[in-house]
Amino acid sequence: MESTRNRLIELLETSNHDYVSGQFLSDKLKISRSAIWKHMKELEKDGYLIEGVRRKGYRIVKSPDKVSENTLHWGLKTNWLGKNIIHKTTLDSTQNTAHDAARENAEHGTIVIADEQTKGKGRMDRFWHSTKHKGIWMSIILRPSILPVAAPQLTLLTATALADAISEETTAAPKIKWPNDIMINNKKTAGILTELQAEQDRIHYVIVGIGINVNHSFSEIPETLQHKATSIKRETETEYPIVPFIQCILQHFEQTYDRYMTEGFSPIRTKWESYGYKIGEKIKIRTNYKVSEAIFRGIAEDGALIAETEEGIQTIYSGEVEWN
């Protein structure tokens, strides 16, 4: 049923707002014309505006931008990611719901998404502001067969997928600040929180949490963060439909993840560096209570930051970096 509806939307959308005859749809989908009509009614319930004209057929006048399991599924061009979607209007944190679902054996590629979060989690136990309908707040459940030590590569991989999707869907030029912040015009617009449940040599599951400030106006960004956080709308003066944006992220994520699984981290590293924030520029690193000036040279095969100091090349694994 669902894939028929997906095909139906695809056929209507490729017609570029021209009418598509009921007979054509019924031949293509191998279902009766009255079944086509019923599908149209279902689409309307989810916010599609469809015009049906006798002897001409149907056309989509307007696609919905209401996030739901259905609207996300329809038109989603992935093979395994997002086949199972859990959408809620309000959650404390999509991470918590994703952990619960994973413990109950939710399949690899399950998505948990909310219109708002009341206790959004950032890295280092920080609070993540998740205003209703203004951004993308979602968690992806993965069951990768990699060693737990390689899990940080999933964060870097996710960052490249986000940067690709932002470049495709918007006019912004995203940069990735090591390890996992997406910056636009030197301000943070998205973050990634990777949590895993693992034994020493085996991952049970990984939850990749993604938060993106999309359609916040300036005043909707908390005052205390306005000097360092932003939204894509604020930087590009354009409001973006959320549903195709999420679908685009999922498509890029799946492609990038599949590539990582077949080719390893090397192509991801090249892509990451093409978006790298301040590569070749001065940064400061903190080692043994000492702050040294360094040049940020890129990332290592294991995802560590490579910095060149007076004492030579150093690799940094966690946040002892000052960017300004």
Provide the binding-site residues for ligand BTN, judged by CB under 6 A: 93-95, 117, 120-123, 126, 128, 130, 137-139, 181, 191-193, 209-211
Q: Is-contact 300 265, C-beta < 8 A? A: no
- Give backbone dihedrals phi and psi of 50, rounded to 5 degrees, phi first: -120, 135
Task: State the minimum distance, in angstroms, from the CB of residue 56 to ligand BTN.
Answer: 44
Q: Which is nearer to ligand BTN, 8 or 159 (CB)?
A: 159
Gap between the Cα atoms of 34 and 10, Å rounded: 19
> Could you give the CA distance from residue 89 to residue 156 in angstroms, rounded to a whole number?
29
Indicate the length of the chain as a whole number: 324
Distance of alpha carbon 138 from the chain centroid: 7
User: Both tokens of residue 252?
Assistant: 């890029």
Q: How far is the CB of 138 from ligand BTN (least distance, A)?
A: 6
Q: Which is nearer to ligand BTN, 63 or 95 (CB)?
A: 95
Specify the residue for token string 């329809």.
74
Nearer to ligand BTN, 188 or 278 (CB): 188
CB of 302 to ligand BTN, least distance (A): 21
Element of type H or E holding 117:
strand 111-117
From the list 188, 191, 184, 175, the residue with the least C-alpha distance to 281 is 175
194 and 155 Cβ atoms separated by less than 8 Å: yes
Q: Which residue's CB is nearer to ligand BTN, number 34 or number 90?
A: 90
Q: Residue 72 is encoded by which pair of tokens?
A: 């996300």
Query: CB-wise, 192 or 316, nearer to ligand BTN?
Result: 192
**Matching residue, tokens 């301000």:** 187
- State in angstroms the smallest separation of the CB of 88 from ligand BTN: 12
For ligand BTN, the closer of residues 82 and 209 by Cβ is: 209
Diameter of the chain by CA atoms? Answer: 78
C-alpha separations of 28 from 7, 8, 14, 23 in Å: 9, 9, 14, 9
Take residue 212 and report the two structure tokens written for it: 């993106």
Q: Cβ(65)–Cβ(243) under 8 Å?
A: yes
**Least CB distance to ligand BTN at residue 323 (A):** 14
User: In the complex, what is the shortest distance from the CB of residue 246 to ligand BTN, in angstroms, rounded to a whole number?
Assistant: 12
Say if residue 117 carries a ligand binding annotation.
Answer: yes
Residue 179: asked if its preceding bond is cis (omega within 30°), the reply is: yes
By beta carbon distance, the residue nearest ligand BTN is 191
Q: How far is the CB of 263 from ligand BTN (least distance, A)?
A: 27
Nearer to ligand BTN, 59 or 252 (CB): 252
Q: Which of 272, 274, 281, 275 is nearest to 304 (CA)?
A: 272
Which residues carry a binding-site annotation? 117, 188
Which residues carry a binding-site annotation for biotin? 117, 188
